[in-house]
């Protein structure tokens, strides 16, 4: 006789085509995901929004599609990655987590009531954060940490410039660099100056009033999370043996977008004394734990701009894509 298996449902934001949020996203009832042996099912309480969500939603630049996410249509309907929540069930190979644990990290389709996540992409939530602030951390926090510590090899006393200091990655980068005793200068819009200064930047440059290239200062390390400056200009603001770390990229053509600068950095770096490094951030449990330690020590605090309910996911993504966010935007479930 056939065995009756109960199929549980949940609310989730999905999309079946590439395009703008208003055209392709919809909130619907769908089946709960089932974790594999190495995965955890998380009851999502909050989910972070970062620019990668927009790129995967729209399929732009087109390189995103070629990288395996689906040429004509997205292979995966689920949307969202950053999450904070409570462990519902664990796979047979998972020993670190158990039902009821509060966790944060990266899952598949976190804009939903439940999300499955690899156990090695989750960590215990910082004890001093609520779910909304914890959901703001994973991808942006790991990118900032890896960009400064691993790619940038930051040292105490270095002069560090963070471009895009008022955004998701930038707000973490300013705090992490300050915690590592660097001399931090942040570049941002006029509306974000007070925020960036409050995060620990000794100097803040309003890019609408000043040009950090023309002012003549040079920096040991530049973390560019702003995404538009040509390499030639960035190198002028870098010391002779300084390091430039390029995080993501905006603008550019439809095929490569801002990634053109990252490819240019790879080609040019072997021929100059400066170190020019594109940043591709892996999702690692050890880095989530490192961020947890910094947060619990009071050295890093997620800069949360605003929250949206799950029903307003479209508006949340559009707000981030327009560049208005002061730090992070989070969806509450």
Judgement on whether residues 239 and 109 belong to the same structural domain of the protein: no
Q: Is residue 326's pLDDT more than 50?
A: yes
- Asked whether residue 287 is assigned to any structural domain, the reply reads no
Per residue in 68-123, pLDDT (tens digit) is 677 788 888 999 999 999 999 999 999 999 999 999 999 999 999 999 999 999 99
Q: Is residue 4's pLDDT more than 50?
A: no
Judgement on whether residues 147 and 163 belong to the same structural domain of the protein: yes
Judgement on whether residues 250 and 144 belong to the same structural domain of the protein: yes
Q: What is the CATH number of the domain that holds 322?
A: 3.90.180.10
User: Looking up tokens 């439940």, which residue turns up?
Assistant: 114
Q: How many folded domains does the chain comprise?
A: 2
Q: Is residue 3's pLDDT more than 50?
A: no
Judgement on whether residues 274 and 320 belong to the same structural domain of the protein: no
Give CA–CA dist 161/234, Å, rounded: 10
Per residue in 237-252, pLDDT (tens digit) is 999 999 999 997 665 5
Whole-prediction pTM: 0.93
Q: What is the CATH number of the domain that holds 150?
A: 3.40.50.720
Judgement on whether residues 161 and 269 belong to the same structural domain of the protein: yes
Judgement on whether residues 127 and 150 belong to the same structural domain of the protein: no
Judgement on whether residues 124 and 162 belong to the same structural domain of the protein: no
Domain holding 107, by residue range, is 9-137+302-332
Give CA–CA dist 125/80, Å, rounded: 19
Biggest CA pair distance of the chain: 79
Q: Which of 33, 37, 40 is nearest to 11 (CA)?
A: 33
């Amino acid at each position: 006789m056939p065995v009756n298996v109960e199929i549980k449902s949940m609310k989730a934001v999905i999309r079946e085509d590439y395009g703008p949020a208003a055209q392709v996203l919809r909130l619907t009832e769908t089946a709960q995901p089932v974790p594999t042996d190495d995965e955890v099912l998380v009851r999502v309480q909050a989910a972070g929004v970062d620019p990668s969500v927009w790129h995967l939603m729209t399929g732009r630049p087109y390189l995103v599609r070629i990288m395996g996410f689906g040429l004509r249509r997205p292979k995966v309907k689920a949307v969202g990655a950053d999450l904070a929540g409570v462990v519902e069930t664990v796979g047979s190979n998972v020993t670190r987590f158990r039902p009821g644990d509060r966790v944060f990290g990266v899952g598949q389709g976190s804009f939903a009531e439940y999300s499955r996540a690899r156990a090695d992409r989750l960590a215990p939530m910082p004890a001093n954060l609520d779910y909304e602030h914890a959901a703001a951390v994973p991808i942006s926090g790991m990118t900032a940490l890896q960009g400064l510590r691993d790619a940038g090899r930051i040292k105490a006393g270095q002069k560090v410039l963070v471009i895009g200091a008022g955004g998701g990655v930038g707000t973490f980068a300013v705090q992490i660099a300050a915690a590592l005793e660097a001399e931090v200068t942040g570049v941002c819009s006029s509306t974000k100056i007070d925020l960036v200064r409050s995060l620990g930047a000794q100097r803040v440059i309003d890019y609408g009033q000043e040009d950090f290239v023309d002012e003549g200062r040079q920096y040991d390390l530049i973390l560019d999370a702003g995404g538009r400056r040509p390499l030639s200009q960035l190198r002028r603001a870098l010391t002779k043996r300084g390091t430039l770390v390029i995080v993501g990229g905006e603008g550019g053509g439809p095929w490569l977008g801002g990634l053109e600068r990252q490819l240019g950095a790879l080609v040019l770096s072997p021929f100059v004394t400066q170190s020019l490094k594109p940043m591709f951030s892996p999702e690692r449990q050890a880095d989530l734990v490192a961020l947890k330690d910094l947060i619990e020590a009071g050295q890093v605090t997620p800069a949360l701009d605003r929250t949206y309910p799950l029903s307003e996911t479209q508006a949340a993504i559009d707000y981030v894509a327009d560049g208005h966010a002061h730090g992070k935007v989070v969806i509450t479930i």
